[in-house]
Structure 1
């Protein structure tokens, strides 16, 4: 496990689980409400810690010549894994424990969520210990033995956590896809292709397009077909004049247009077989939306997350009316 694989997870997008409940015109049951609360707790935990844990892993292993072998003790620049903001850590503690106990059970989801919470707690205890060790520069006083002693257990815990993260991400996405398909059918039967229908459909189709173009070697021909279908969906929503006069829907449309634009840039970059330059890689590491290279998978993901954010905001505003 010499390098953490950079996964462009779409679990953040599943925050639209709240949208699933809000879009439906039917009465919801207590079980439905608890089901949404349970899934949202899983999503909140995943979204809170997944990215900072991956970043900390890169920070910790980045100065090692061979992360599998671990520190030699001769390195001149060393760094600990860093910690995670407390409110993010908290999202994976009491709320997750409570959600796991909620009924009805989710047999396809609960085991993955339970393993994720367990591996996070175990990993984070080691991360805090290692980060204190490096922050205090204890390695200068123990002949760097602590670096070597802590490394193997820490890497094993990282491996377990990353595996659990992949499993939870897949389980959440599968559940979301199934719920979205069922709800789209329900909304279309009850209301036709209403604003709620397009809101849910655009996010779902945007997710599929983003997943396709986030692969290591995207199928360009298929991606062009998916992008054309996505653009046709946006045009159809305009032709149907949904959301006229709704300022929030205007934000959703602009975010969807941005996703279409960045998907096109991504396709062009892949078509040209144009890897990131060293300068662009450095920009990626610096963080920030403005620094994401055009045509990169990261820029596309940022656009998709913006679409999800706008759709969720619209749902919250609509629910407050």
Structure 2
């Protein structure tokens, strides 16, 4: 039986939501309102002469890119809402069930059970996914991956709900783990199916998100030049590319070094641009700047750890577990946390 790989949580929040905040909501995306888009809607237009301003040149918009962006919003909002919680549920269960192939023995000294799922959100997102799939343009690979993702997530939610109640009520103390053992096989199978679907959907989202983001970046640079909207979007694009590579257990150091250098160069260029316009910067820029620097540091630590083949100390190995692994320099978890903090800061602007 295929069992999930749980040694390093690899979920990364996706970061195209700030694109809508910068470019404004189209009618097709109004139903997928996020905090970032709402903040944009409540902000008065900035004069075009302002270096932080955004000029929405619809005539220059690449054909189909705006519609594709609206379609992605329907998927990404739910992905960011549900994906991490689902993986945390799996990790919680696997933290005390030492052999995921065999399941619980009944002799465990500590029984943590597992986290509950957001069942209402799963149902709501099933509707959101159906609406997104029906939107134009049709993106067959993404739409198929999305359907598999939400289907396996709903199936996992059903299995988790029963197991959560069983362990939360500590019923295993009454039946000598009989039901816990019976629940394990379908539960573990739902975990494995979801993780496969999650990986495939994440990859498909990455492809389409990159297509939309690159088109929007090209449009903004052409119509406005390299000003604040361009730098925010471009920094996030470079950060995502860097996180994708450094988040692997092993990676090509030369390729990673090239991406790290590109991220640092662009970030430094952005910092130089904003230095003389501090009074005109939007609310939240300081947080974005701070998290961009923290991501830079976490990326360099991760890069050096793998490039120089630096093993974890015994103390670090003890911390490489859910809840504390993000504190270990050079760990995947610290990189992921730094990237997700940057995503949140960008989306909040």
Q: What TM-score bracket applies, with the shorter chain setting the length? A: 0.7 to 0.9
- Distance (Å, rounded) in 2 between the aligned partners of 1:243 and 1:54: 43
Give the Å deviation of 1:113.
Answer: 1.1
> What is the alpha-carbon distance in structure 1 between the residues aligned to residue 108 and residue 324 of structure 2?
30
286, 292, 295: which one aligns with 1:256: 292
Contact in 1 for aligned 2:303/2:330 (Cα 8 Å): yes
Change (3 A) 1:43 1:144: same
- Correspondences of 1:98-117 after superposition (within 5 Å): 98-117=131-150
Distance 1:193 1:120 in 2: 41
Instruction: Tell me how far apart the structure 2 counterparts of residues 278 and 212 of structure 1 sit (CA, whole Å).
Output: 26
> Is the CA contact 2:243–2:339 (under 8 Å) kept in the aligned structure 1?
yes
| Partner in structure 2 of residue 309 of structure 1 | 344
* Aligned equivalent of 1:317: none
Match of 2:20? 18
* Residues 124 and 277 (structure 1), Cα distance of their counterparts in 2 relative to 1, 3 Å cut: farther
Alignment of 1:49-68 (within 5 A): 49-68=82-101
Q: Specify the SS of the correspondent of 1:41.
A: helix
Shift of 1:85: 4.4
RMSD: 3.0
Counterparts of residues 141-156 of structure 1 (less than 5 Å) = 141-156=174-189
Q: CA shift at 1:90, angstroms?
A: 5.3
Where do residues 211-250 of structure 1 align in structure 2 (5 Å cutoff)?
Answer: 211-241=244-274, 244-245=277-278, 246-247=281-282, 248-250=284-286
Give me the TM-score of the superposition, normalised by structure 2: 0.78
Name the CA distance, whole Å, in 2 between partners of 1:78 and 1:26: 58
Change in Cα spacing, 1:180 to 1:126, as seen in structure 2 (3 Å) is same
Is the 2:72–2:209 contact (alpha carbons within 8 Å) kept by the matching residues of 1?
Answer: no
Q: Once structures 1 and 2 are overlaid, which stretch shifts more, 149-158 or 303-312? A: 303-312
**CA separation in 2, counterparts of 1:105 and 1:257?**
38
CA–CA separation in structure 1 for the residues paired with 2:319 and 2:107: 29
Give the match for residue 300 of structure 1.
335
| Length, aligned pairs only | 312
Match of 1:193 in 2: 226
Q: 3-state DSSP class of the match of 1:13? A: coil
- Alpha-carbon shift at residue 193 of structure 1 (Å): 1.7
TM-fit CA distance, 1:111: 1.2
Matches within 5 A, 1:12-161: 12-19=14-21, 21-22=23-24, 25-27=56-58, 35-85=68-118, 88-89=121-122, 92-161=125-194
SS in 2 for 1:312: helix
Displacement, 1:158?
1.1
Residue 144 of structure 1, CA deviation: 2.7
Q: Given the superposition, is the C-alpha separation of residues 81 and 251 from structure 1 closer, same or farther in structure 2, using an over 3 Å criterion?
A: closer
Normalising by structure 1, what TM-score?
Answer: 0.84
> Once the 2 structures are TM-superposed, how far is the Cα of residue 147 of structure 1 from its aligned partner?
1.9
Contact 2:246 2:299 in 1 (8 A): yes
